[in-house]
Amino acid sequence: MKPYLFAIGLAATLSAAAQAPGAATNNTALPPEIVSKFKSVEERTGYALGAMIADDMVTRIRKMGYDAPNDAIARGFTEWVNEKSILSKDEVRKVFMSVQAEVQRKNEEKRKAEGERNLKEGEAFLAANKAKDGVKTTASGLQYKVVKEGDGKSKPVAEDTVVCHYRGTLLDGKEFDSSYTRGEPARFALNRVIKGWTEGLQLMSVGSKYTFFIPAGLAYGTNGSPPRIPGNSTLTFDVELLGIQGKTTNDPAASPQPAVTSDIIKVPSKADLEKGAKIEVIKSTDLERLKKEQEAQKGQVPKTTGPAKVDK
């Protein structure tokens, strides 16, 4: 942690306080019980500044994992402000670097222990799960259960972009991502997701619903996907394959649409026209370009949620 982070945090705190609704601009805006506690405006202002700095600083210290008693924090702050610090700037920096290294070491030990525990729990779960009725295991170790077979004949290949609904959970049942929760299907390029998804969805025909039990090695591995997915986590995904983009699908948004060959006139509502909105003429060539840009964006894989591939 670098000392200037506190300065940034303080600036943000002061800015937020200044812009807060009802922020006092003069003495008359303050209740008498507050004014009576101080001898002057300067004293009151200084006390409030100190309190805000302390609140921001202590919150950040605790969040970053530093173990420091409040009296030591107060002493360091007071002596530094009064230019009576027993440490120089360079010495303060060295102490911070030493403490930061220790915190990182402890966090790494904690992460490693958690990962080892998750790996053992995952292996035990998969060993018991594979014997359950309806559960199948592939050569890679991926386990799946067919909830519903679709009527569609098409199955995706690794180069396809699929349209699906899904819900992902940890072994304790905690949901870490869901397209159902977001209220709209997701689109993923199968060669840009975790290995368990790439393999598993190629087993499904359009309209199918499967449950996948994905070992850590076919998911996010030792690193996980913080903060929602710890390292070495075995994951469960309920997946409903709605369609394959550009192929037969139950999702109209994924089906190829007829090409637009004429211009489109976009007429604003009466209210928008009164506000100054103009009638637009969208050329067919521009419409196709915009459509391709939108499709390209839909095909992108989310970076932090869902089954996005993690670089090793």
Which of the four pLDDT bands, split at 50, 70 and 90, describes residue 292? low
Is the confidence at residue 169, as pLDDT, over 90?
yes
Is the confidence at residue 9, as pLDDT, over 80?
no
Annotate 174-215 with DSSP letters as a single string.
-EEEEHHHHTS-EEEEGGGB-HHHHHHHTTPPTT-EEEEEE-
Q: What pLDDT score was predicted for residue 24?
A: 44
pLDDT (mean) for 51-78: 83
* CATH placement of domain 136-253+294-298: 3.10.50.40
Q: 156: how many CB neighbours lie within 10 A of its CB?
A: 24
Beta pairing partners, 138 = none
Residues belonging to the active site: 166, 176-177, 194, 220, 237
* pTM for this prediction: 0.61
Any alpha helices (H) in the chain, and if so which ranges? 4-19, 32-35, 41-63, 70-81, 89-129, 179-182, 195-201, 270-274, 284-298
Domain boundaries, the chain: 4-86, 136-253+294-298, 262-290
| Euclidean distance between CA atoms 177 and 238, whole angstroms | 11
Beta-carbon contacts of residue 242 (< 8 Å; ≥ 6 apart) = 163, 164, 165, 185, 206, 207, 249, 250, 251, 254
